[in-house]
Chains A and B, each alone.
Chain A
Amino acid sequence: MVRIIDRRFDSKKKSTANRQRFMRRFKRQIRKAVADAIDGRSIRDLDSGEEISIPSKDLSEPSFQHGKEGIWEQVFTGNDRFASGDGIDRPMGGGGSGGGGGASNEGESEDDFVFQLSRDEFLDVFFDDLALPNLVRTELAKLTEYKTQRAGFTSDGVPTNINVVRSLRGAIGRRKALGAPLAARVREIDAEIEALEADTADHLDELAALREERSRLLIRIEAIPFIDRFDLRYNNRIRIPKPITQAVMFCVMDVSGSMDEQKKATGKRFFMLLYLFLRRNYEHIDVVFIRHHTIAKEVDEDEFFHSRESGGTVVSSALRLMTDIVRDRYPPGAWNVYGAQASDGDNWDNDSPICHDILDQELLALCRYFAYIEITTGEPQNLWRQYEGLTGHHPNFALQRIESLEDIYPVFRELFKKEPG
């Protein structure tokens, strides 16, 4: 009797070690790819993995091989036209039937090596840059309960998820669309044949020609593939977390001329991290983007990060706008309000005391937490000094000067501590 061993429940992921080796080896490239991805992503979009591509040449495994030159002789199948001694023009670009080396060498494709970084791995790299402590990482990356829900159809997936009805419906549509002009012509021919047959005169030649065309058309209609890879549709399922509560997060950023792209990128990571913290506790999070120079404006995310303005800076305009929006749309009874402000510290001198007052008397009372980061390498300016005065009597206010990405995390330390358990 045969020995059948069921290994399906053995330690899976035997390759995880090898996968980690791979990640370790290409850490530099992966970090760069993740950094690029973060720049391209919405701050709310941290819950998916990322396709990372690495140039193939970086991960080639060399071995002794023949070059393309010299004499190569290769045997092919399906001779349909050649006789011994025939000369053949060299195919362009070396392609399929070119003799060279196909027998032994693996194809030297110039494509990038692309692979999928899972969500956890993506976050890990993201956290690495921010120098987050391990405990925080686990807490942040931990997901709450999920439920799976249908979310329409996609055009790629695994065979088990093929939706037959959808796929066939697509196939019918495609066949109809491709066959319609031909079918129309067939109907025309049918009408003509009928007319000619009804006619008493002799139309044998014409009839024969029409019938031949008709049968050709029918063959072409028949030749339309019944189903094509292109028709395939797959059931799509997504997992969504179960709702808990709701929060609103205000992103306030100075967009005056002195905020360059580098500073904005730092600011973006700061906002992303805050978002992650919030997502841990709240199911539904609204994000409001306020940018300001001398006047403040509520904008969408794209504009927030990508448009530039020049001119002076009046920070209080943004704080006023935020206060108004909270009063209008996010009553603190129903919403947990979080504020995050990023700036390079420039402000119109007379404005800084006003900012202090707005925060002190109005805004901080409305907020669960307000964090300010100053992205600069220079000396602290008056806004910083004014804000520093707030820390004493407002435990829900944090501020931090940031020179590099590792400085972001301390802003959140307080916030994180406050969460029980």
Chain B
Amino acid sequence: MSDTTVASKKLPSGAEWTFEAIGQYHEEIARVAANYKLDTYPVQVEMITSEQMMDAYASVGMPVNYHHWSFGKQFLATERRYKRGQMGLAYEIVINSDPCIAYLMEENTLTMQALVIAHAAYGHNAFFKGNYLFRTWTSPDAIVDYLIFARNYIAQCEQRHGVDAVEELLDSCHALMNVGVDRYKRPPKLSLLKEQARQSERETYLQRQVNELWRTLPTRSTTDTKEESPRFPPEPQENILYFIEKHAPLLEPWQREIVRIVRKVAQYFFPQRQTQVMNEGWASFWHYTLLNTLYDEGLLADSFMLEFLHSHSSVMYQPNYNDPWYNGINPYALGFAMWQDIKRICESPTDEDREWFPDIAGSNWQETFDFAMRNFKDESFIAQFLSPRLMRAFKLFAVQDDDKKNKLFVSAIHEERGYRELRERLSNQYNLGCREPNIQVWSVDFRGDRSLTLRYQPYNRRPLGKSVEEVMKHLARLWGFAVRLETVEPNGSTTLTYECRKEKRRGDAKEKTSND
């Protein structure tokens, strides 16, 4: 008698999934997640094939996106690797939208489906909803609508202006995508209706504004006006695409709209680039915790747990620096370990923990988690919560590579005097400000040759990579006149690093008339 009740209580096991079984798992996972007070968007689970998964991969993980050859390239590369068996597909893609869409792949076993639901539909979902970066920079309720708007708009442009013209423009915008985000300002909310309603209005308004700016172009010689001419822009601008959208003199209204679309998409992904360790670690912690809780309640079969643990531990594997598989620090491994460690510090702190983390040692772990998840990004999360104990466990060491010295130099290791420095190094490694070159719009010579000047502020004497030439050509194409890039030297002076003159005006002019 008791046997049968236990058996019936158990969730289905075995490799084959059914919609019913997935529903049952979801129900239990949702129940446990609610007990842990995970605050999530409603969940929408979608079952797709491996091919569709590759599609989703190709269009940067979004269910709809505009068409571009680079997505085709991505698709071909993924398809090839997958077909040759060199790569398994990611188990899941989850979309930061409201409701939160989690994709499950048809080929996966029931265990994997349950794992994905716990990981993506509850872990990531809660993170998307809670973390300040996502709350500030993304509008999950509008993103899918916006992408539909974007795709239709770009398709229309292709019909009206030709696929080539649109493709060229998108290429140029993609090259500047990483410098097309606001880092400190809140962008206005997206909404399909508002977007459509305001779009035509915006077109005319923008064009008028641009014309205002350029109407002041005097034909007289520029020599005497140089000193008195006001600076434009008054302050350096970090968001180059935004600057192009608002101020590039020769762009047509539809071109400005496309620049805007690319900019919005870049902005949407901006938080994800800054919270990889935290977000993956968070989701891994929760799938681990949720499924273990279910197991403790006696709901999961042993075979389920074995398969789950096998998969979990292979994802969490961190090879050592001299291992042939080493490919940097595994964000899953680091993130998972950190969240586990925070829980440990809360529940059973050591003296060392009390010294390093007086605020959280011995506190309620769920409250601490909530606070940490909401208010940090990778860089600050590591700077705040990486414990000496973890640095020892990972045997972390920092290596400095200075091209002026003959040897590499080990700057800090996992020892008493190295902890703080090591932690700072690792935190820096996740700081977008250090990872990506700091390039801003410096000035426009709008009384002279209308050239646009960017300034590069080098970090640690790092020069710009070779691709800068190509990017500058793209920028010149958007700006329509000469573009320059200046590098700020350590002594404060600037040198001209790159200049791209724009000579072919004829083609542009022709294009312009034919489009009117």
Contact = CB atoms under 8 A, between A and B. Distances in A.
A2 B425 CA distance: 43
Contacts of B167: 21, 25
B401 A78 contact: no
Nearest to B475: A64
Given A12-B51, A70-B463, A103-B328, A76 B321 contact: yes
B426 A20 contact: no
B77 A3 contact: no
Nearest to B414: A79
B435 A88 contact: no
B30 interface: yes
Interface stretch (B443-451, B465-473, B507-515): B465-473
A77 B329 contact: yes
A2 B322 contact: no
A63 interface: yes
Contacts of B429: 73-75, 103
Contacts of A105: 465
A73 B313 CA distance: 29
A18 B321 contact: no
B395 A5 contact: no
B413 A62 contact: no
Contacts of B27: 1-2
A193 to B, nearest CB: 39
A159 B85 contact: yes
B296 to A, nearest CB: 23
Contacts of A67: 462-466
A177 to B, nearest CB: 24
A71 B460 contact: yes
A149 B432 CA distance: 54
Interface of B is mostly: mixed
A19 B435 contact: no
B326 interface: yes
A121 to B, nearest CB: 11
B61 interface: no
Interface in B16-32: 19, 22-23, 26-27, 30
Contacts of B70: 61
Contact of B80 (A5, A25, A88, A114): A114
Interface stretch (A93-101, A196-204, A242-250, A261-269): A93-101
Interface string A55-91: 0000111111111111111111111101111111110
B208 interface: no
Contact of B410 (A5, A10, A61, A85): A85
Nearest to A12: B51
Nearest to A96: B326
Nearest to A54: B73
A350 interface: no
A28 interface: no
B402 A71 contact: yes
B132 interface: no
Contacts of A223: none
B203 interface: no
Contacts of B84: 156
A2 B41 CA distance: 12
A3 B45 contact: yes
A230 interface: no
Contacts of B417: 84
A285 interface: no
Contact of A85 (B42, B44, B176, B409): B409
Q: Which of A59, A63, A100 has the most CB of B within 10 A?
A: A63
Given A8-B52, A71-B402, A96-B326, A15 B435 contact: no
Nearest to A114: B80
Given A2-B30, A104-B436, A77 B462 contact: no
A102 interface: yes
Interface in A4-59: 4-8, 10, 12-15, 17-26, 59
A116 interface: yes
A241 to B, nearest CB: 23
A113 interface: yes
Contacts of A116: 76, 79-80, 83
Given A77-B321, A115-B77, A3 B44 contact: yes
B385 interface: no
Given A21-B69, A103-B429, A156-B85, A87 B75 contact: no
Contact of A8 (B106, B422, B425): B106
A4 B458 contact: no
A6 B19 contact: yes
Contacts of B459: 66, 70
Interface string B31-71: 00000000000111111110110110011000000011111
Interface centre among A65, A87, A100 (most CB of B within 10 A): A65
B401 A74 contact: yes
A76 B400 contact: no
A25 B55 contact: no
A1 B23 CA distance: 8
B398 A74 contact: yes
Given A69-B403, A77-B395, A84-B411, A63 B177 contact: yes
Contact of A3 (B43, B320, B468): B43
B44 A15 contact: no
Contacts of A115: 76-77, 79-80
Contact of A66 (B44, B411, B437): B437
Given A5-B45, A7-B52, A72 B328 contact: no
A77 to B, nearest CB: 5
B425 A75 contact: yes
B30 to A, nearest CB: 7
B396 interface: yes
A330 to B, nearest CB: 41
A114 B176 CA distance: 26
B175 A70 contact: no
B412 interface: yes
B308 interface: no
B484 interface: no
B318 interface: yes
B407 A62 contact: no
Contacts of B407: 87-90
A49 to B, nearest CB: 12
A22 B73 contact: yes
Contacts of B397: 75-76, 79, 82
Interface string A376-411: 000000000000000000000000000000000000
A157 interface: yes
Interface of B: 19, 22-23, 26-27, 30, 42-49, 51-52, 54-55, 58-59, 67-73, 75-77, 79-80, 82-85, 99, 106-107, 163, 167, 171, 174-179, 318-323, 326-329, 394-403, 406-415, 417-418, 422, 425-426, 428-429, 435-437, 439, 458-468, 470-471, 474
Given A18-B68, A60-B470, A77-B329, 17 more contacts: A2-B45, A3-B43, A5-B44, A7-B48, A8-B52, A14-B52, A19-B76, A22-B73, A25-B69, A59-B73, A72-B400, A72-B462, A73-B425, A77-B326, A90-B407, A99-B408, A115-B79
Q: What are the 3 tightest A-B residue pairs by CB atom distance, in nearest-first order?
A: A78-B320, A22-B72, A99-B401
13 contacts: A5-B44, A18-B75, A60-B470, A62-B468, A64-B179, A64-B471, A71-B462, A75-B397, A78-B319, A84-B412, A85-B409, A90-B408, A114-B80
Interface of A: 1-8, 10, 12-15, 17-26, 59-80, 82-90, 96-100, 102-105, 113-116, 156-160
